[in-house]
Structure 1
């Protein structure tokens, strides 16, 4: 199931330019694949004078995970619980700045574990088959 930017805005608490993803390319019960071009935009809210640090790729992955959680909740008829990024682990950066990547970003996130209080996702941000960063994010779900 492919979703575009206008459909994503209803699945995230982020608005305007802070919604970093452009499309959901595919998803199922355990994984989601998204794409983004916002890393090249000069008005990206995470960008600093020197550029968009690759560390900001964690936010791209966290947004993909949040959308995945919203899609799963909707499929099961459950209410969407607000989530808060609790931890980032095993972060590996292969580049310094995302804005220097000219092609579209592909964000892959896989749900490794989840219960009513939190979820754990492994992620990779890639472009043209090159891995730019990988890691894991833990998300705390509020009641």
Structure 2
């Protein structure tokens, strides 16, 4: 593992069980691949009535994007907040995450970005099962102040 869960927790605003990624297996200037088993965790805070909806995968992808920003230097310090400003072309191939066996792989590829805004294509899979894919626009707000 190139980046551990503990290091990830230092790069994103989420703490405790809300830090959903277990590690980073690959990253470069344009992309990141993260892994997680937290979709099996009964204490996952995104569960609703004991189930983890597939759309929760958007949060996994958003965290991968935040980690990528930290690793590439797009974000200089741990952000206090970030905003998912838009989603496009989101397709869910399954309805739930908690019933999928195996490790989740979260891929994100930066299409464009600077210190205030980034656009990523993302996809999630568990084993050979495609889970979710789409494009996200993220507004970065390192200071926590609004413009």
Same fold by TM-score greater than 0.5: yes
| Unaligned runs of at least 5 residues, structure 2 | none
Is the CA contact (8 Å cut-off) linking 2:110 and 2:118 kept in structure 1? yes
- Counterpart residue number, 2:108: 109
Q: In the aligned structure 2, how far is the partner of 1:18 from the partner of 1:78?
A: 22
Structure 1: which 5+ runs fail to align?
none
Aligned to 2:121: 122
- Partners of 2:89 and 2:42 in 1: CA distance: 29
Aligned residues, how many?
A: 141
Question: Deviation string for 1:29-87 (max 9, x for gaps)?
Answer: 000000001001111000011510000000000000000001111xx794455421111
Kept after mapping to 1: 8 A contact 2:53/2:95:
yes
RMSD of aligned C-alpha atoms?
Answer: 1.7
Answering whether residue 54 of structure 2 is matched by residue 54 of structure 1, we say yes
Partner of 2:9 in structure 1?
9
Q: Which residue of 2 aligns with 1:139?
A: 138
Whole-Å Cα distance in 1 between the matches of residues 58 and 75 of structure 2?
A: 28
How do 1:43-122 residues align onto structure 2 when only pairs under 5 Å count?
Answer: 43-73=43-73, 78-79=76-77, 82-122=81-121
